[in-house]
């Protein structure tokens, strides 16, 4: 239930809070936890009460950008969070902000308050904020995370945009093929049955397939939809994604690119933490979740080697967590002491390399896919009309 709470804080003017609570007492408790003195509480009905409201993910990047702007404008952290809470309309986001504010009023650090909502704030974000609390430069940490997330999103957008055209082409080609087989081929088969001519083997097989689709169309459609639904369900399971990822890793060309992409993401995240002031070994533990399960064991062994005093470049090379370029840059970072900057340069280099590979792959794959679809559709059309061509030749 949503409640409108009129409350007062200190000597300020009364303000209206919109709170989601089980009852009026719960709403009053939430307002008191935020440091307000409750004046009045009024229930707000949700019309219609049965309507479905989609629950979105917490907008972490937008939250960081707005918080950064308010901090740079001179507001304190609590004031900035209260400002974001007052302008927020989404109940789930508003509830998360109120929990953070309440935790800050209880005397907890900002990173501790964020840690209580792991679904909204990943470990990497919490670690970045915790490192900034040691240096007292939260705006710089937020700016660094925004830049990091923007780079990661740019790589994802490029991969997604490169996949749109092949997927669209496959869907359209599949629909055209389905139309020919379900609607056109059965009608041609009836024409040829009336003529009674002897069809070539491939044309005869095509006509029989069309007749099968026409006579058992409902059963085949139901089975196809069930198969597609089952495939979608299986694809959404974590175990299935893990299995598919393992299969992709075994492919000679794609597996190597996936390995490089994961290393690039690993080095960018690690570089961001190191630049924020986090020690190396705890940073390695925090970013281990970004690696594929097989590489995590190698990272654990590399971390143990670093604890024993071995250079990072040696440990990473020994356990297969580098590339030739990354190894050279790590050695330079060890000599200069700029490990964070070097790791971000490693990530930038391999991200650009991955982007070029995706572009080359799509430029090669799209024409091949178009040729295959055109060949399938063309073959169906030729097999349908081939008996007519033969009949026309015999009449001449």
- Reported as a single tens digit per residue, the pLDDT across 287-332 is 877 777 778 888 888 888 988 888 888 988 888 888 888 889 999 9
Label residue 12 by pLDDT band (50, 70, 90): low
> CA–CA separation, 392 vs 80, rounded Å?
82
Q: For the residues 48-58, what does the mean pLDDT come to?
A: 47
Of the listed ranges 3-17, 58-72, 367-381, the least confidently predicted one is 3-17
Average pLDDT in the chain: 78
> CA–CA separation, 261 vs 267, rounded Å?
10
Q: For the residues 264-287, what does the mean pLDDT come to?
A: 82
Of the listed ranges 83-92, 282-291, 318-327, the least confidently predicted one is 282-291
Task: Output b/e per residue, 294-317; b: 16+ Cβ within 10 A.
Answer: ebeebbeebbebbeeeeebbbbbb
Q: Which residue has the higher pLDDT, 7 or 61?
A: 61
Could you tell me if residue 56 is left (phi over 0), alpha (psi between -120 and 50 degrees) or otherwise beta? beta
Label residue 54 by pLDDT band (50, 70, 90): very low
- Specify the pLDDT at position 48: 39
Starting at the earlier edge strand, list the strands of the sheet with 2-8.
15-20, 2-8, 37-44
331 to each of 295, 312, 341, 352, how far by Cα in Å?
21, 8, 12, 21
Label residue 42 by pLDDT band (50, 70, 90): confident
Q: Which CATH number fits domain 154-396: 1.25.40.10, 3.30.300.30, 3.40.50.300, 1.20.81.30?
A: 1.20.81.30
Could you tell me if residue 277 is left (phi over 0), alpha (psi between -120 and 50 degrees) or otherwise beta? left
Label residue 86 by pLDDT band (50, 70, 90): confident
Q: Do 298 and 319 form a contact (C-beta atoms < 8 A)?
A: yes
Q: Which residue has the higher pLDDT, 304 or 137?
A: 304
**CA triplet 175, 241, 62: central angle to 5 degrees?**
90
Of the listed ranges 11-20, 113-122, 146-155, 374-383, the least confidently predicted one is 11-20
262 to each of 127, 295, 354, how far by Cα in Å?
20, 9, 11
Residue 29 has pLDDT above 70, yes or no: no
- Specify the pLDDT at position 46: 45
β pairing state of 37-44 and 2-8: antiparallel
Calculate Rg over the CA atoms of the chain. Answer: 31
Residue 44 has pLDDT above 70, yes or no: no
Q: For the residues 120-135, what does the mean pLDDT come to?
A: 81
Q: Render pLDDT for 140-198 as a digit per residue (tens, 0 to 9).
A: 888 888 887 887 777 777 777 777 888 888 888 888 887 887 777 777 777 766 665 56
> CA–CA separation, 375 vs 39, rounded Å?
75
Q: For the residues 241-252, what does the mean pLDDT come to?
A: 72
Share of the chain above pLDDT 90, in %: 0
Label residue 21 by pLDDT band (50, 70, 90): low
> CA–CA separation, 5 vs 28, rounded Å?
8
Strand blocks (E) in the chain: 2-8, 15-20, 37-44
Q: Which residue has the higher pLDDT, 305 or 22?
A: 305
């Amino acid at each position: 239930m949503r409640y409108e709470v009129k409350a007062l804080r200190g000597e300020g003017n009364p303000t209206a809070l919109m709170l989601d609570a089980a009852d009026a007492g719960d709403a009053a408790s939430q307002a008191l936890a935020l440091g307000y003195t409750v004046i009045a509480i009024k229930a707000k009905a949700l019309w219609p009460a049965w309507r479905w409201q989609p629950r979105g993910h917490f907008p972490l990047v937008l939250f960081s950008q707005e918080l950064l702007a308010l901090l740079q404008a001179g507001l304190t952290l609590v004031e900035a969070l209260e400002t974001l809470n007052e302008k927020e309309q989404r109940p789930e986001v508003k509830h998360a902000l109120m929990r953070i504010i309440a935790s800050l009023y209880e005397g907890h650090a900002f990173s501790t308050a964020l840690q209580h909502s792991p679904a909204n704030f990943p470990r990497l974000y919490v670690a970045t904020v915790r490192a900034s609390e040691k240096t007292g430069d939260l705006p710089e940490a937020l700016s660094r995370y925004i830049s990091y997330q923007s780079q990661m999103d740019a790589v994802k957008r490029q991969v997604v945009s490169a996949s749109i055209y092949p997927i669209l082409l496959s869907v359209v080609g599949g629909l055209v093929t389905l139309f020919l087989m379900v609607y056109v081929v059965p009608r041609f088969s009836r024409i040829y049955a009336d003529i009674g001519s002897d069809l070539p083997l491939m044309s005869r097989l095509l006509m029989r397939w069309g007749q099968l689709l026409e006579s058992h169309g409902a059963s085949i459609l139901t089975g196809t939809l069930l198969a597609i639904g089952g495939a979608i369900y299986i694809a959404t399971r974590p175990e299935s994604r893990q299995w598919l990822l393992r299969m992709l890793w075994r492919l000679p060309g794609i597996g190597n690119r996936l390995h490089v992409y994961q290393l690039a993401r690993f080095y960018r995240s690690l570089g961001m933490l190191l630049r924020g002031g986090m020690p190396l070994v705890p940073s390695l533990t925090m970013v281990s979740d970004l690696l594929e399960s097989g590489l995590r064991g190698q990272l654990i062994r590399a971390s143990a080697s670093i604890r024993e005093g071995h250079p990072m470049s040696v440990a990473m090379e020994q356990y297969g967590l580098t590339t030739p370029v990354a190894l050279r840059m790590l050695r330079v970072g060890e000599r200069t002491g700029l490990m964070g900057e070097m790791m971000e340069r490693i990530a930038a280099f391999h991200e650009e390399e991955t982007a070029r590979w995706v572009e080359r792959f799509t430029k090669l794959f799209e024409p091949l896919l178009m040729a295959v679809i055109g060949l399938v559709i063309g073959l169906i059309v030729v097999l349908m009309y081939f008996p007519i061509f033969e009949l026309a030749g015999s009449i001449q």
